[in-house]
Structure formats: structure tokens, C-alpha cells
Amino acid sequence: MAHLKSADKATATQHILLVDDDSELLLSLTRTLKEYLPDIAIHAAGTSSAALSLAREQNVRLAVVDLELDSSVGTASGFDLISALLQHDPHLRIIVLTGHKGIEYGIEAMSRGAVSFQEKPPSVANLATLIKEFLQQRFLTEHLRQQQTARTETLLESFLATSKRSQRLKDELLFASATTQSVFLAGESGVGKSLCASLIHKMSSRNQKPFIRYQPSFLSADLVSSDLFGHKKGSFTGADTDRTGLIAAADGGTLFIDEIDALPLETQVLLLGVLQERRFRQLGSNEERSVDFRLITASNACIETAIQDQKVRKDFYFRIAHHTISIPPLRERLAEIPFLIDQFLHAGIERKEFSVCRIDARALLKLKDYSWPGNIRELQAIVEGAAYRAQFKNRFEILEEDIHLSGESSTNMDDDISREGSFQEKVLAFKKKLIREALARHGGNQVQAAKDLGLDRSSMRRLISDEL
């Protein structure tokens, strides 16, 4: 019953248009359809020009169109009217009602954008049902579109402030979400590339399907290919079981590969093939599978240099960078800091981690004076750390003293090293200093920091968890 009610609501006070060169038929159909569709305003037009005028004036949502409106040009008059009506309103539903039978007429009408092809004489009861269904379909489509737009705007508003640079980024993200092209996100560490990729996915038509994030790090080509393509048991040393792989997991959705310059060249070749053919094969398998995913990649490295250094294949880059979005560093959008702080504090309160909701003016000035090498990720870490300190001191407001910037920390670390203690304690303090500095240089990115220090990822993780 709820469905029927919504159908009635969808058809209420809507306008439809009947177009036929036979005035007798127009009079008869209008009168009979009115009996079946009492809530709908029915307009009638005997010529194409009258039909177009009514469509413009009356916000017509559906048109029933004859094909032979002008006997001097035959069916071309009806086909041209379909095109003209749809040019005026691409969402208009058009039902063709004609005395011309023949599949060629039906194909032409549908290819012009008509949604149904009916022969004369119609059953008016059936025609009325068809009109109701198409009006409801249009109502639901528009409702869904409005909801998606509202959702998209909310997502963007919650992520980006209103500065000019952010507006440009918003526009680019919106454009990317409306297309199916591969997107390449460029920007320093910590500027929010992952968040942008996730936003593009959430705003796209793929948002009901998975968003799979992958960072190849510095793994071997076998391992990366296995992560992406999956493998059959025994396909290489260490492949003890079958594995599905992330490409299959992203089917229908979005695959986001961060630090694309760390993707082994062999894997780039394989991935290029998948992007071109939309088919892939698990390692060790002869069976090809079709797959449909949208690829978003990102890198904080200069991609031109990566191509010159032969870390990224040129043909691969051209395939993954149909649309490139450069995300500006935080130091170029310092005006957004208050907005971002507000977002981080609200998010922390929602997660019930702290109840600090304000920042003092001097504390804010201190944050605005900083150069933010670690970008938004660093800002988030510092604001959240400050909020915890404020909370510890039973305050709802962050003060200047709660803010510990990277430069200040390093002074404390130097103190730790020069302080009296055992050799082991001093070595530990020195390790802490090196790690903190590397993390600050790379915006908190552990993989980059590890690479910088010449450590492998697991050693880096152990040091961070044990000692920081």
C-alpha cells in the first residue's frame, strides 16, 4: 500500500503533453485519460511548435508524441520533435503513440530517447498505467538525485573550508566523482589524498560498492602482484593458500593505490593490461576474469622525476592520470586552519575521546605561524594531542601551552639526550629524536620516514610502538 501511495503522490499535480496532428484524437484521448488520471494536468498540441511552447511554459514531465505530425515531411517531424523536447528537458519521459508499425520506427524512436513505443489504437487504460509508471519513475529519479546532491554537498562541506583554493578543489572532486576516469591525486604527505580518494568514491555512483585502499610500500613485485591480483596456492614460494586479491575485492567499486611510485614496474605492466582490457588473471591461474573498478592513485613524489628515474612507466602514468588533482599543502591555505581545527575537535567529541571544543586565540595564532611540513595529518595530530592535554587539565579550551609543535619537541629531545643517564637510555632518546624528526619531515607517514632512516617497515613500527 505504501508503494501505491507514493505512486499517487508522484503523479499529483504534474503536467503531461499529448501531441498529434489529429484534433479529434487529441480531444478524445484528453477526455478519456482525464478519467484515469484525474490529478494530472493534460495539455494537447497539434503541431511541433505548439508542443515545444507548452513544454517550456508548463513544466511538462511526460509527453505522448505521434510520429507523423506534418504530412509534408512524414515521420521525421515526430522524430525531430522528440529530439527537440529532450534538448529542452533531458529528463522528459516520451511515449511514442503512432499508427506506424515497424521495428525500424521503434528503434529510431528509442535511439532518439523515447522510453516507450505504442501502436494506435491504444488501450487508454494501459496508456494511463504507463504514464503513471513513468511519472513515478521520474519522481523517484529526481528524488534520488536531490538526495545525492545534498549528501555530496554535506560531504564536501565537512571536509573543506570555503576559501577560493578549497572551492577549486571541491569543484575538481565533484567533477572526478561524476566521471569514471582514472584519477591521480598529487600532493605532499599529509594533505589528505586518502580522504580525497574516499570522498570521490562516496560521491560517485559506485558508492554502494567497496572502496579498497592499498599502499604497495616497498614490497617485492610478487607480493604486490599477489596483493592486487590474488594468487593460486603454490603459484610462488610462500603462496600456501588461494587468495582473492584486491582487484577482485574492488569489483564494482573503487581501488585506491597510494604511493603509486612505489608500485613495482612488473606490477605496473600487469595493472596497465587490466585497465585496458578490464580483465585479469590471478597469479598461477589460467582463468581470466572480467572486472569493473575505478582506479584512483596518489603520490607525494614528483611524478615527472619518478618517470625520469624509471620508477613509473610513462604509458602507465598516462593511463592512470586521465584526471589529475593537485592538493595544495596546508602552508598555502593557513586561513583554513580554524575550520580544520573545528572539524578535528568535533570528530574527537563524536568519538567520545575528549570533550574539548574550543581553542584560545593565542593558541590559534601559534598554529597559524607554523609552516606545517606534515600538512593536515600533522595538524590533526597536534590538535588532538593538545585536546588531550586540555582535557587532562579539566579544560574545555585548548591554550597555547597545550600546543607542542615539532620544533619544540626536538628541543625536549635534545634535553633527553644530554640529560644524565645510562648509555642505553641515551641511545633510546637519540633513536626517539631521529624517528620523531623523520616523522615530522614526512608528515607522520611511517613508510616514508622508515625509508628516509633506512629502516624496514616492521622495525620502524616496533620502534614507534615500543619507544614513542
Binding positions for another protein, rule: CB under 8 A: 20, 22, 24-25, 28-29, 31-32, 35-36, 68, 97, 99-102, 119-125
In the bound complex, what is the minimum distance in angstroms from residue 63's beta carbon to another protein?
A: 17
Nearer to another protein, 18 or 283 (CB): 18
Nearer to another protein, 97 or 450 (CB): 97
What order of strands is seen across the sheet that includes strand 60-65? Answer: 41-45, 15-19, 60-65, 93-98, 116-119
Which is it for the CA torsion 140, 145, 146, 147, positive or negative? positive
d(CA 126, CA 136) in angstroms, rounded, equals: 15
Nearer to another protein, 36 or 339 (CB): 36
In the bound complex, what is the minimum distance in angstroms from residue 105's beta carbon to another protein?
A: 11
In the bound complex, what is the minimum distance in angstroms from residue 34's beta carbon to another protein?
A: 9
Which amino acid, residue 217? S
Nearer to another protein, 64 or 312 (CB): 64
In the bound complex, what is the minimum distance in angstroms from residue 98's beta carbon to another protein?
A: 8
In the bound complex, what is the minimum distance in angstroms from residue 9's beta carbon to another protein?
A: 23
Contacts 24+ apart (CB under 8 A), 78-82: 78/109, 79/108, 79/109, 79/112, 80/48, 81/19, 81/48, 81/51, 81/52, 82/109, 82/112, 82/113, 82/114
Nearer to another protein, 21 or 133 (CB): 21
Which amino acid, residue 314? K
Q: Could you please report the per-residue DSSP string of 328-339?
A: PPGGG-GGGHHH
Nearer to another protein, 48 or 254 (CB): 48
d(CA 350, CA 102) in angstroms, rounded, equals: 63
In the bound complex, what is the minimum distance in angstroms from residue 102's beta carbon to another protein?
A: 7
In the bound complex, what is the minimum distance in angstroms from residue 123's beta carbon to another protein?
A: 7
CB 189 within 8 A of CB 445: yes
Residue 425: CB atoms within 10 A of its CB come to: 13
Nearer to another protein, 124 or 428 (CB): 124
d(CA 160, CA 163) in angstroms, rounded, equals: 8
In the bound complex, what is the minimum distance in angstroms from residue 135's beta carbon to another protein?
A: 20
240 three-state secondary structure: coil
Kindly list the distances between the CA atom of residue 305 and the CA atoms of 196, 250, 261, 421, 428, in Å, as whole numbers in the listed order. 23, 30, 10, 45, 36
Which amino acid, residue 168? R
In the bound complex, what is the minimum distance in angstroms from residue 31's beta carbon to another protein?
A: 6
Nearer to another protein, 119 or 400 (CB): 119
Nearer to another protein, 105 or 211 (CB): 105
CB 51 within 8 A of CB 85: yes
d(CA 453, CA 440) in angstroms, rounded, equals: 13
Nearer to another protein, 100 or 432 (CB): 100
Q: What are phi and psi of 211, to 5 degrees?
A: -110, 115
In the bound complex, what is the minimum distance in angstroms from residue 177's beta carbon to another protein?
A: 47
Helix (H) or strand (E) holding 296: strand 294-299
Nearer to another protein, 124 or 223 (CB): 124
Which amino acid, residue 307? I
In the bound complex, what is the minimum distance in angstroms from residue 107's beta carbon to another protein?
A: 14
Closest by CA to 187, choosing from 343, 332, 46, 14, is 332
Residues ≥6 apart with Cβ < 8 Å to 390:
354, 356, 396, 397, 398, 399, 402
